[in-house]
Amino acid sequence: MRNEAGRGGGGYLAGVRAGLPFALITGVVAISFGVLARSLGWGVLAPIVFSIITFSASAQFAVAAVLGAGGGVFAAVAAAALLNARFLPMGVAVAPFLKGGPLRRALEGQAVVDPSWALANRGGGRFDREFMIGATVPQFAAWVVGTVVGVLADGVVGDVERLGLDVIFPAFFLALLVVELRSGGKRAIAAAAIAAALAAALVPFAPPGVPVLAACVAALLLGLRRRSS
Amino acid sequence: MSTLWVAIVAVTLASAAIKAAGPILVGGRELPPRVNAVIALLAPALLAALVVTETFGDDDGHLVLDERALGVGVAAVALALRAPVLLAVALAALVTALARLFG
């Protein structure tokens, strides 16, 4: 029993370590969210509460973009929900590896964010629950602290884009993708290629979020096909 | 309550529900092999789509070829040469920043 608990702790800690580089980036993105929210006249409290209870860069930036452009609540919520719709299949994927009853599983499912989910992926549809939760902890802390810094340090922080920090996420996702492609074989390469082509084709026409969601179609098509060999 | 606070609460509920749906509906059940085959391909597919949208997509829904593509391209070369992940990512940021500085 103690051994098992010890192993679990190791999984969490290994996850925290793996999540630290992402936390750094998340913190920078959070600062820019705080600055943006302040510039939109959201005050101090609202952006910080938003980051604590929502904890989603894509959803929060979407709300800022829609409300900032004069859009209504419904448009803002729809945009955010569409952007986060990818967490639905990702949640289904990790579901068998979470613990406890429905409420606890629902809570553990909140730990699903892109980097943690990809890092905890052990191939063949398996996921490391402790590793995923551990990796999310520093990212959540950085998201909240970064938002506070951005809201309070309005105007002091340098330009994220000038420093090239906006490419850190795609570069990281590319690194995770390379690992997937090296271990996943031909089907993984085909799925990635189709998803990339679909996303590129949809960007000019579909609302934000849909191009990424279309990737699930690529996985569905190839996953349901009978293996030819 | 102001528009902003309504949006904050609604987005939080929507986001939490999206993340909770899979874990609640699937529970601890083992997924059928066919579903597992789809899930095994979700990671490469989603990651590829995220790379495309965050490298080539802009805020106005256009595909653009700018300094980001250069930076991510350099990261791709570094990764192909088996460079460590952090080095590849740092190179991407550095190249993008330099390209914007001199571009």
Q: What percent of chain A has pLDDT over 90?
A: 47
- Answer positive or negative: Cα dihedral of A54, B24, A224, A120: positive
**The 3-state secondary structure of chain B, one letter per residue:** CCHHHHHHHHHHHHHHHHHHHHHHHHCCCCCCHHHHHHHHHHHHHHHHHHHHHHHHECCCCCECCCHHHHHHHHHHHHHHCCCCHHHHHHHHHHHHHHHHHHC
Give the position of tokens 């597992």.
Answer: B36
- Say what the ipTM of the complex is: 0.87
Q: How far is B64 from chain A (nearest CA, A)?
A: 10
End-to-end CA distance of chain B: 46
What are the two backbone dihedrals, phi and then psi, of residue A121, each rounded to the nearest 5 degrees?
Answer: -75, 120
Q: What is the pTM of this model?
A: 0.80
Cross-chain Cβ contact B19/A80 below 8 Å: no
What integer is the mean pLDDT of A108-115?
95
- Radius of gyration from C-alpha coordinates of chain A: 19
In tens, the pLDDT along A163-173 reads 787 788 789 88
pLDDT in tens, chain B (103 residues): 589 999 999 999 999 999 999 999 998 888 888 888 888 888 899 889 989 998 999 878 899 999 999 999 999 999 999 998 889 988 999 999 999 999 7
Evaluate if residue A120 carries a pLDDT over 50.
yes
Q: What pLDDT is recorded for position A159?
A: 67
Q: Is A216 in Cβ contact with B46 (below 8 Å)?
A: yes
Which of A123-132, A178-187, A192-201 has the lowest average pLDDT?
A178-187
> What is chain A's mean pLDDT, rounded?
87
| Cα atoms found within 13 Å of the Cα of residue A103, Cβ hemisphere only | 0
Of A67, A112, A215, which is closest to B48 when you measure between CB atoms?
A: A215
The partner residue sitting opposite A63, judged by closest CB among B7, B41, B88, is B7
